[in-house]
Structure 1
Amino acid sequence: MTPAHLDRTPLTLVTGLDRTVSARIAHALAAPGTAIVSHDLRDVGRGRVTRSVHRIDLDGHDRFSLDDVELEHGCVSCTLRLDLLPLLRVLHREPGVARIVVALDPVVEPENVALEVRQTVVDVPGLAPAAAGDDVSLTHTVCGVDAGRWLDEATGDITLAEAGLSVDEDERTVAQVAVGQVRFADTVIVERADSTGGAWNLARLHAVLVRLAPGAGMRTLNSLQRLDTALMAGALGSGTRHSPHGVPRRPFDPLLAGRPDLDGDCGVELITVEAARPFHPERLHLALDALLDGVVTAQGRLWIAANPDDVLWLESAGGALGIRRVGRWLAASPEGTADPEHRAMAALHWDDVYGDRHSSVTVLCHRAAPDQIRAAFDDALVTDAELALGPDFLANLPSPFGTEHRDPCDDFESTDRSVQVDQTEGEDR
């Protein structure tokens, strides 16, 4: 019997902040038997999306369709669930389609698409309800990077709405999307390498990219070089098995997956912060400022004294940062279910008193001083004197962290933890 995944149609995502670069990459992926899909979301706020489908038949003949899609609710999620996911299921059943390429709009994060493909059940006339992942297999994500602009975009704090890329209600920053697109890539195509202002700036950009996506293949082109099918094929084959290959991250996956370089280069350095005692919530809140300037991105698991049973996930990009609850420590729910990766991580950090509770954060610096970041986190840990006061004292420390928090934020005033989530949710970061 043929394995089920071999019956699925291979799916490639093309992502990036520059839609022109994404279009060139998609064109370089065109081959007989390919369907190339794109959705232009620039008018999504008014409930209208322009969808294009370019089919290259097995005999090499081209067919192109352009349609306006009307949505009841104008948002990215509605576009995926009401149009793209059903379309993937339909294209899978077209006899001339051997591969699907989806060129994502600049505001779409590929990891979210991967989750939707895997999990979201959609209805298609004439078919039983199912997830698109039953029909297509996301095998590759290609990210296009404009060398002259990307690092500034990935380290700023402007929102997508302020940049004119999305609707006013979209509070995500350009940096969040830029970092997420590269991090989920299996191949990175760097274009306009001659627009960085010099060899050192290009080397610094490369130092960031290879630490952000260490398992990805990479090709760098200047303005006179053409991205063609042969070059694209070589780029797709240059990655490693350590890149995502369509698999979304989980909170207990290794933070240094892909074996990134931990040595500094052009002022860029990837550092780790580990702690075997909890953070004091108010001091940690102050320490987070160290991550909002001169840092490309930070991510990791936090143990906070006022949330002793909760695993909190920190993630930053440029000048924006978020913290959210992603589960419970095994020591707090020993009878609960956990995947093997979670249990393996717990075993590495197990303590006779605190169990698997610990903090582990990676920080990708490009201007910030690593020693200052480490010192800020060290100063935020609870002291021996505070530990001696016992778990009840620690659990009742005033805290700005509920189940979700974003920075920068207004000064924290309330010590009533029952209202913290309402105070932090929906803040414009």
Structure 2
Amino acid sequence: MTAVSDRTPVTLVSSLHREAAARIANALALPGTALISHDLRALPLGYVLRQTRTVLGGADQFAIEGVKLEHGCATCTLRHDLLPLLRTLHRTPGVERIVVVLDPAFEPEPVVAEIVGTVVETDELPAGTAGDDVVVRATLTSVDAASWLEDATGDRTLTEAGVSAVEDERTLAQAAVAQVRFADVVVVETSGAADDRYRDAQLSAALRRINPAAIQHPVRPDDPFGPDELLISLATVRPESRRGRLTTPFDPLLDGCPPLEADCGIEVVTFEAPRAFHPERLHGALDVLLEGVICARGRLWLTSSPDHVLWLESAGGALGISKVARWLAARSEEELAAVDPEVRAMASLRWDGEHGDRHSSIVVVVHRADRAEIEEALTGALLTDAEIACGADYLAALPSPFGDVHHDPCSDSPRGESDSISHEETTR
């Protein structure tokens, strides 16, 4: 594996708007830079459009190529095209940095997961992951101040919104929130007009509570928008920023210390409980997280899956729950030895003699919902003292509408099978 200092740095650029992402990428096109983008709008025709631009030795070269779909899957095509290309560019003389412009339908975190976790096997390259040769140093996301909050709180799918050219049940809200949550710098395109000041302040408050570690870089129509401004923002990225770090099931939910007080109607609601949820009552309570809520995320302890951490994540009118790991209390001594010491230390702070580290913890960012209503609904879904007294066998046998993966609003078809955020079982 190549030492981190010798890997080629990669910057990811994401946005719901292609033009905005292109402006950021072009501003980062300094000498020694290779830019890559994949446009998925040609998917119905059986290919994706790959654009590359290299600024090397004083020459600016641009190429467009249609990449045939592998297995009829956009994600598989990117695995077969983007990952080998990153490894090849790492070996290309003169390439000092790489900028990857993501199609609006893609979220940055799963792309990073592919870079660090997927083995690339070709005749031209030694076996290994793209992460052996490159390292994601930063992610920049552009948001439109006029539309982002509406996009992030709605329930339109990517297909309905015209972002995806093929059927995609993920929502625009899921993509919008995922892009912001993973960003190190959020470029906010705003009019700068006096009439829009409250809207801009409300958006800033929302972004600060979703991703408090990210630098917000406002851009008005008459502002300079070039490498100097973006490089200054990148240089001031906070130590706690993501910088390509993947989400794990035991991450602090208030990472980055978001403001807890309300601002412009935007507020963070936290919910903690040292007891399990009743499966059917929780299912009935989930609607409270789909109205007036920008996003929610957290760990759930469910009676029907007592050994598993269930991860809840919502954006706008869409919500998903999935098994992501096992509680430390359900692991063997050998398995515990492999767990990150920081995770073990955090678990010890809440350790219960009977239930170990099992707990429920949810953080909700609201813009119209009532805090008391959320707290009341979630509290009402917890087990009662009388139910707990019935014993472990009774609790484990309670009917549950949740399987390994569950989506609300309930549907027969899953949302975002391959391109949405996923959490693999981890010992971190």
Task: Please state which band the TM-score falls in when normalised by the shorter chain.
Answer: over 0.9
1:358 paired residue number:
359
How many angstroms apart in 2 are the aligned matches of 1:21 and 1:260? 27
1:380 paired residue number:
381
How many angstroms apart in 2 are the aligned matches of 1:219 and 1:373? 32
Q: Does 2-11 or 153-162 show the bigger shift?
A: 2-11
How many angstroms apart in 1 are the aligned matches of 2:326 and 2:221? 50
How do 1:14-413 residues align onto structure 2 when only pairs under 5 Å count?
14-57=13-56, 59-194=57-192, 198-335=196-333, 336-337=335-336, 338-409=339-410
Structure 1 unaligned blocks of 5 or more: 411-423
CA displacement 1:284-334 (0-9 Å, x = unmatched): 111110000111110010001222111100000000000000121122224
1:421 paired residue number:
none
Q: Return the offset for 1:407.
A: 0.5
3-state DSSP of counterpart to 1:205: helix
Is the contact between residue 405 and residue 425 of structure 1 (CA under 8 Å) also seen in structure 2? no
How many angstroms apart in 1 are the aligned matches of 2:254 and 2:416? 30
Is the contact between residue 34 and residue 99 of structure 2 (CA under 8 Å) also seen in structure 1? yes
Note closer, same or farther for the CA distance 1:317–1:124 as it changes in structure 2 (3 Å cut).
same
3-state DSSP of counterpart to 1:315: strand
CA displacement 1:69-93 (0-9 Å, x = unmatched): 1123343312321111111111111
Q: Look up the equivalent residue of 2:373 and give its one-letter code.
A: Q
Note closer, same or farther for the CA distance 1:242–1:275 as it changes in structure 2 (3 Å cut).
same
1:417 paired residue number:
none
3-state DSSP of counterpart to 1:304: coil
How many angstroms apart in 2 are the aligned matches of 1:52 and 1:308? 48
Note closer, same or farther for the CA distance 1:196–1:365 as it changes in structure 2 (3 Å cut).
farther
How many angstroms apart in 1 are the aligned matches of 2:182 and 2:414? 26
Q: Return the offset for 1:240.
A: 0.3
| 2:414 matches 1:426 | yes
Q: Return the offset for 1:192.
A: 2.5
Q: Does 162-171 or 136-145 show the bigger shift?
A: 162-171
How many angstroms apart in 1 are the aligned matches of 2:68 and 2:405? 34
Q: Look up the equivalent residue of 1:64 and give its one-letter code.
A: F
Question: TM-score, normalized by length of structure 2?
Answer: 0.93
Note closer, same or farther for the CA distance 1:426–1:196 as it changes in structure 2 (3 Å cut).
farther
How many angstroms apart in 2 are the aligned matches of 1:345 and 1:327? 16
2:425 paired residue number:
none
1:418 paired residue number:
none
How many angstroms apart in 2 are the aligned matches of 1:67 and 1:159? 28
CA displacement 1:145-188 (0-9 Å, x = unmatched): 11111111111111111122224442111111110001000111
Is the contact between residue 70 and residue 77 of structure 2 (CA under 8 Å) also seen in structure 1? no
Runs of 4+ off more than 4 Å: none
CA displacement 1:103-133 (0-9 Å, x = unmatched): 1110111000100000111123322121011
Q: Look up the equivalent residue of 1:174 and give its one-letter code.
A: L
In the alignment of these two chains, the number of paired residues is 414
How many angstroms apart in 2 are the aligned matches of 1:314 and 1:344? 23
How high is the sequence identity, in percent, across the aligned residues?
53
3-state DSSP of counterpart to 1:36: strand
CA displacement 1:334-386 (0-9 Å, x = unmatched): 43343334322321221111111100111011111112111111111111111
Q: Return the offset for 1:11.
A: 0.4
Q: Larger RCO: Structure 1 or Structure 2 (Cα < 8 Å, ≥ 6 residues apart)?
A: 2
Q: Look up the equivalent residue of 1:426 and give its one-letter code.
A: P
Note closer, same or farther for the CA distance 1:112–1:175 as it changes in structure 2 (3 Å cut).
same
RMSD: 1.9
3-state DSSP of counterpart to 2:307: strand
How many angstroms apart in 1 are the aligned matches of 2:239 and 2:295? 23
Is the contact between residue 83 and residue 120 of structure 2 (CA under 8 Å) also seen in structure 1? yes
3-state DSSP of counterpart to 2:135: strand
How many angstroms apart in 2 are the aligned matches of 1:21 and 1:428? 24
How many angstroms apart in 2 are the aligned matches of 1:380 and 1:23? 46
Q: Return the offset for 1:47.
A: 2.3
Question: TM-score, normalized by length of structure 1?
Answer: 0.93
How many angstroms apart in 1 are the aligned matches of 2:152 and 2:48? 26
Is the contact between residue 17 and residue 145 of structure 1 (CA under 8 Å) also seen in structure 2? yes
Note closer, same or farther for the CA distance 1:230–1:365 as it changes in structure 2 (3 Å cut).
same
Q: Look up the equivalent residue of 2:359 and give its one-letter code.
A: H
Is the contact between residue 206 and residue 266 of structure 2 (CA under 8 Å) also seen in structure 1? yes
3-state DSSP of counterpart to 2:379: helix
3-state DSSP of counterpart to 1:43: helix
Note closer, same or farther for the CA distance 1:168–1:71 as it changes in structure 2 (3 Å cut).
closer
CA displacement 1:260-285 (0-9 Å, x = unmatched): 11111011011210000111111111
How many angstroms apart in 2 are the aligned matches of 1:97 and 1:157? 41
